[in-house]
Structure formats: structure tokens, C-alpha cells
Chains A and B, each alone.
Chain A
Amino acid sequence: MRGNDVILENLSMRFGDFVAVQPTDLKINAGEFFSILGPSGCGKTTILRMISGFLSPSQGRVIIGDKDMSGIRANARPTALIFQNLALFPLMSVRDNIAFGLEARGIGKKARQDKAQELLSLVALDGHGDKLPTALSGGQRQRVAIARALAVEPSVLLLDEPLSALDLKLRQHMRAELKELQRKTGVTFIYITHDQGEALTMSDRVAVMNKGVVEQVANSDEIYANPATPFVASFVGEQNVFKGKVVAKENGYAILETPLGKMLGQNTQGLNQGDDAILFVRPERLSLQEKPGQQNSLSATLERRDLEGPFVNLHMRAGEHPIAIHITNVDQTHQSLGTEQKLWFAAQDAVVMRPGELASE
């Protein structure tokens, strides 16, 4: 099996007056694990359906491996789709499910069975071939769906939130499995999800979408560390958000006047004095330290403490402004509720951006 690259050229989709996908250009590399991340209704599934051929784009085209897919129907494209609910055929055995694509291609029974057996081994389901899908567990069904899709040797595998029905433990386990399968097979994976954890852990690259627009395409680290827009910043991971006005800028940094005092952060978008701005700082970048005389010092009251296990969420309040802090479980100090504490963050850990839409919680 070999992956192919997928190129979206000026691709857009409208349903009546509603624009589901704004004109989009995107290149997904051969053999890449590519995720499209966004809230529900952002158009990510529409893009997937246009790539798979179930929807014809209003405009633009999909090119898979140098071949224009316009006018080619879903059943003739080199793609295979894994549905959110898996859509396994409940009345066929696991083996017949996996062999269905081969059967549809008119491949002989013996060859089908061999291939199905091979795939059963690939997804570690030897011995389950004669069962009905309903007799399997959630994770096993998941693997059947993947095997069924891989049986037709697609060059692009499209996955539509396939892990969303699984419980947390299994989901985390399946992430590793999917990644491993992708590496083993070399097929291009296009993975649709609203779960940033899935996108960040598995993907080579992630596209973050909102309201039909791809806001940023980058690898996981880049997305997390250097979000391009307020939406990406607030959608991926948690953020403390401070709104204010730029009062000064120097050496790539900007000083913001906020209700909580002056704050300093990286001026990546080149804002000028007098511009409205938002400053983002991640909860784990805040520390319970007192740095007298330094900028970006705050004082806040601890209102709630949530133990997540490896780390602790502290919910604090500075005046009316809620502030979230993550600290690791090893350095728990000064955590009595109701006490006023000093906080501080480094200027290079904060990003100043032009105001824009934030992801709603």
C-alpha cells in the first residue's frame, strides 16, 4: 500500500445561502497523518465528504495523486472512509465485512479470504473472523472498520471521528494503534476530529478550521505554541485571556494596558500603539511565584482546586477576571483556598493578538 498526496484547489461548498466551506487550498502530503480539527459545524466533515466523493464541491477541485477527481464517483475513488459510527454491516461476519470491498471489485473468493485473513492479523483480530460485528467490543469493531477500509488498498484513508464513541482509556489506546497502523501501511490518513487531544497526539500536521475557514495548518507543536489566530489559540488547549489596548511596542514585544494592569507579551502580529488586542497565556505557563518589580505580576484569590492526577487545576480570580493555572503534582505549595496569592508569567510565554473570534467553551 502506498499513500498519495491530496490537493484541494480553491475548494468550496455552499448549501443554498449557507457557505459550509470557504474556498480552501490545502496540500496533504503522501503518507502523512493529517488531521482537520474544529468544532462541530465548522465544515470539516464537508471537506471529508468532498474528498471521498459523496459531495461534489460547489467550486474548485480535489486532486489525489495527480489525478483530478472531478466527476469520479465515490465508489471509483482511491479513498476509503471510516464512519463515525463505523457503519459495519451487521448481518455479515467480520470476515465478510472486511472482504466486502474486494467482493465489490469482483475478486475471487479464495483471494478475498486470504486478504481478509491477512488484515485480521494486521489489526490483531485473528480468530474473530466468523463472528458478527455485534459480538465484538467497541475497540475490536473499530479495528474491523479499519481493516475493511484497508482491504481495498486505498491510497488515502479518511477517518470521520471514528474514536468518538469509545471510552477514554480505549480511545487513548486506539490513538497509538491508529498511528502505528498508519506508519506500517504508509497510507495517507486524513483524520477529522473535534478532539484536540486526538489531533495533537497522532498527527504529523493539523489544520484547524472554524466556520468553513482553515485558520492554521501546522504541526502539533507549532499549533500549540504559536497559534495563528485567536480562535486557534483558544480552541487548542486552554488559555487565560486578557483584553486590552497596546500602549507600547518594542523588540517584538507589546505592552498591553488591561484592567489588571500592564502586561507584556510577544507581538507576533505586529500590532501598533493604540490597537485593541488580546493577550493569551496558557495555564501551565503561569506560576505561583512572586517576582517583585517584574511585569506580568498578578495577585489572585484561589477559589477552587481540581486534582487531575498528574497535575492540579487551580481556579483563581483576580477581581472579576477568572484565571486558570495548571501546576504539576510535585510542587504543590500555597494552595489554601481563599488566600490571595501572587502570580507571574514570562513575557515570551504570552502572545498578543488582534481581537478575533474565540472558541466558545
Chain B
Amino acid sequence: MNSLIKSYGKGLTALFVGLTVVWIAALIVLPQISMVDRAFTYEDRGGAAATLSLEIDRAYQEVFQISTSLDDLRAEKEALSSGGSAASQQESVSALDPFATPAPTPSQGVNMLDPFAAPSASGSSNRTAAQIEADEAPLIAKKSELEAKIVTLEAKEKASTDTVGLDTSYSLKNFTEMSSVHLQVFLSTMIYALCVTVMAFALCYPVAYAVATATSKNKIAILMLGLLIPYAINELLRIFAWVMILEKNGVLNAVLDMFGIIDLQVGEGFRFVASNGAVFTVMVYAYVLFMVFPIYNTIDTLDKNQIEAAKDLGASTFRIHWRVVLPHAKPGIAVGAIMTFMLSAGSIAVPEIVGRGLHPDWFSQVIYRRFFEADSWNQGAAYSLTLLLACVVFILFNMAVFRVGIRDIAK
């Protein structure tokens, strides 16, 4: 802090600190707290209170439907009294029917909410007007019945508990009630992400080593460009590029066709997309950079004389890597593995676009559906938290395995 004040002055330092605090509080801590709160809040959708409130909701909905039907009938009546044609009345009545039919439900009540309901009771001498009156009467009766029911139900709800709506309480149920399908998806996602991480490492280590030990400046520049250029392109575009390749009518099948291995003409061709292999390939490609650079950075700091010394002492290539290069690159590997694992475990674009719902679900897709399709935010939050915890566990596990501390990772 003192050094900050020394180099930037009090004003700027206060600004830095202020912005940092705002950032941490508003963008990290508060959303997390809200998520954790949701995750541990259980909404009882099957309890007595819930049934009660559902019933009340339903009654209100019916009352609303009945009053709209009544409004329509009244409008029709007014049209009649001002001398409208019979044909048009006939039409509007039949148009009314579909609205009217769902209305008759077991419960009935008085509509206190509709100010137009009372004046509509006054009759008209017209034949069609009489018909309308006949339609109106049971509706009005039902409505008042419903309204009476709402009053009793609300009184009952008030008596039984003070909470309104669903019965919510803090509990672990959002976690413990994860269905076996979801749990399986979660576990397989962890394994898939691990596979992606391992594959990314297998691909990146030789590349990073080659770049880090390249002696010619030009070679390094070319290798770096080759690594960076694909990442100037949007992630979604990179994924779609792969879809173009792996599609049944895509590049890969076309190439196979060219070599006469398959015949696209007669409908042969492999369905590369929507397979584990495709999702893994695209994901490795999408996140490879996050593995390459940490490893490259650590190998780059290795004293190349150590490699020569090991060679000079008679070590095989494998032993040089196993005993000299890999131990040195451990912090980089740990960082790369953590980043790749977290990105792939949380990836939604790749399994969604490449997987097409035919590939086994990724856990992030389940979370998405919990939030926006099942409308169960609390369960979604619990699932997200589970994923987050799994990632944290992975980080700690990684640090233990590679015996690196936070300090090494920060380097």
C-alpha cells in the first residue's frame, strides 16, 4: 500500500483501491453470496402450503379469464343496443366459446375485482341479447363462487403460516436431491474435462518445449504467430469452423470421399459431430492456448545448460524430460491444467454446438436448463456451486500433486 502511495500519489491510490473494492464487492462477492443463498434455499413445491398457494394462483387465473369473457359479452351487448347485425353477433358469440368453456370449474365466487360486472346484469329485450344474458348468468355465478373461495383459501393460508407463496427454507436439499441422471452427468463432465485437460497437455507440452528451446529468433516468431492467430478469432467462430469440418457433408468426409474411403454420393459418411471425440477435439482446440503459454513460460526460464548437462551425463530424451524439464515446468503445467480444466468443465458453447443434444450432456447444459427451462433458480444455483466446488477441489488436488504453492502459480 505504501509503495502504491509512493509511486502513484494518494488520489490515484484511493481510486485504485476504491475501484478494486467495488469490483470485488459488486462483481464477485455479492453475486456469489446471492448464489450461495439461493443454492441453500429450498423451495418446497409439494407441501401443503405450496398446494394452497397453487390453488389460490389457479383461482385468480380463472377469475381473470371469466372477467375477460364477461367484458367481451358486455361489449357485444352494447353493440347490439346500438343496432349491429345479427351475423356479427353470432360470430362473436362463437368466438367467445373457447374462452368460456374452460371457465366452468368446480369452485364458484363473487367477482369483487371487476367493476363492470354489476352493470352488465341489467337485461335487454333482444332475442340475441337474451341469449347473451343466458351465457352471462352462470359465469357471474362461477365468478362470485371463485372469489368467495379465494377469500377462504387466503384466510386459511394466513392462518397456517405467515409466509406467502412457496414454502422456502434453508436446507441442503438442492444438493442432496440431485437426480441420479444429473449426478451422472456431473461425474461424466468431470471425467470429460479431465480427458480434455490431459489431451491438451499431451498436445501442448511438445509444442511449448519446441518453442521454448528454439534457438532462431525467426522460428520463435513464426511459432508464436501460429499459436496466436487462431485466437484472434472469436471462440464461437472457431467452434463453427470445426462443425464445418466434422459435419456429415463437411470437409473431413469430403477428404475421405476424395481418397475413395467413403462414397458421399450414396450417403456414406461418418457422423463425426455429436460424438465424444468431436467434443473433445474442439474443446482441446478451443482451450489449448491456456495450456501452451503457462508451460512455455516455465520451460523458457529453464537454464538450457541443464538439458545439455543431462544429455552429457548420458541421459536419454525421456529421462531428460522426466527428471529435468518436467519438474521445472510443474508450476506451468499446474496453471495450464487448472485453466483448461475449469474452462472445459464450464464450457457450454462447445457441447451445445458440436454436441447437438446427441452427445451426452455437459453439466453446464444441465445448469442452464435448471435456470431457464425448469425455472428452478435455486437448484441451478446449487448445481453451479457444485461445479465451482469441484473446480476448487481440482485446483487444490493439482497443487498437491504438483507440489506447487499459490506463490509458484502466481509467478
Q: Which residues of A contact B (CB under 8 A)?
A: 52-54, 73-76, 79-81, 83-85, 87-89, 91-92, 100-101, 103-105, 148-149, 151-152
Given A89-B324, A91-B328, does the pair A83, B315 have CB atoms closer than 8 Å?
Answer: no
Which of B308, B312, B314 has its CB near the most chain A CB atoms (within 10 A)? Answer: B312
Contact B308 A101 (CB under 8 A): no
Contact A80 B306 (CB under 8 A): no
Q: Is B155 an interface residue (CB 8 A)?
A: no
Contact B312 A100 (CB under 8 A): no
Contact A87 B316 (CB under 8 A): no
Q: Is B310 an interface residue (CB 8 A)?
A: yes
- Residues of B near A81 (CB, < 8 A) are 308-309, 312
- Residues of A near B163 (CB, < 8 A) are none
Contact A100 B303 (CB under 8 A): no
Contact A54 B303 (CB under 8 A): no
Q: Is the interface of B mostly helix, strand, loop or mixed?
A: helix
- Residues of A near B323 (CB, < 8 A) are 89, 92, 100, 103
Shortest CB distance B311–A (Å): 5
Q: Is B319 an interface residue (CB 8 A)?
A: yes
Given A89-B324, A91-B327, does the pair A74, B312 have CB atoms closer than 8 Å?
Answer: yes
Task: Report the Cα distance A91→B325, complex, angstroms.
Answer: 10
Given A83-B305, A87-B303, does the pair A75, B312 have CB atoms closer than 8 Å?
Answer: yes
- Residues of B near A92 (CB, < 8 A) are 323
- Residues of A near B324 (CB, < 8 A) are 89
Interface string of B287-310 (1 = CB under 8 A from A): 000000000000000010110111
Task: Report the Cα distance A151→B314, complex, angstroms.
Answer: 11
Given A79-B312, A83-B309, A91-B327, 14 more contacts at CB 8 Å? A74-B312, A80-B312, A81-B308, A81-B309, A83-B305, A87-B306, A89-B309, A92-B323, A100-B310, A101-B313, A103-B323, A104-B310, A104-B319, A148-B313
- Residues of A near B303 (CB, < 8 A) are 85, 87
Contact B308 A104 (CB under 8 A): no
- Residues of B near A105 (CB, < 8 A) are 314
Q: Which residue of B lies closest to A84 (CB)?
A: B305
Task: Report the Cα distance A85→B37, complex, angstroms.
Answer: 57
Chain B interface size, under 10 / 10 to 19 / 20 to 34 / 35 or more: 10 to 19
Contact B310 A74 (CB under 8 A): no
- Residues of B near A53 (CB, < 8 A) are 312
Task: Report the Cα distance A262→B257, complex, angstroms.
Answer: 94
Interface string of B337-373 (1 = CB under 8 A from A): 0000000000000000000000000000000000000
- Residues of A near B310 (CB, < 8 A) are 89, 100, 104
Contact A100 B311 (CB under 8 A): no
10 A-B pairs within 8 Å (CB atoms) are namely A75-B311, A83-B309, A85-B305, A89-B324, A91-B328, A100-B323, A104-B313, A104-B314, A149-B313, A152-B314
Task: Report the Cα distance A101→B309, complex, angstroms.
Answer: 10
Shortest CB distance B404–A (Å): 12
Contact B308 A75 (CB under 8 A): no
Task: Report the Cα distance A105→B324, complex, angstroms.
Answer: 16
- Residues of B near A79 (CB, < 8 A) are 312
Shortest CB distance A320–B (Å): 46
Shortest CB distance B314–A (Å): 4
Contact A75 B327 (CB under 8 A): no
Task: Report the Cα distance A74→B310, complex, angstroms.
Answer: 10
Contact B308 A83 (CB under 8 A): yes
Task: Report the Cα distance A84→B305, complex, angstroms.
Answer: 9
Shortest CB distance B339–A (Å): 23
- Residues of B near A87 (CB, < 8 A) are 303, 305-306, 308-309
- Residues of A near B305 (CB, < 8 A) are 83-85, 87
Q: Which residue of A lies closest to B330 (CB)?
A: A91
Shortest CB distance B328–A (Å): 7
- Residues of B near A52 (CB, < 8 A) are 312
- Which residues in chain B, 82-108, are within 8 Å of chain A measured between CB atoms? none
Shortest CB distance A338–B (Å): 52
Task: Report the Cα distance A359→B316, complex, angstroms.
Answer: 42
Shortest CB distance B216–A (Å): 12
Task: Report the Cα distance A105→B312, complex, angstroms.
Answer: 12
Q: Which of A75, A89, A91 contacts B314 (CB 8 A)?
A: A75
Interface string of B59-90 (1 = CB under 8 A from A): 00000000000000000000000000000000
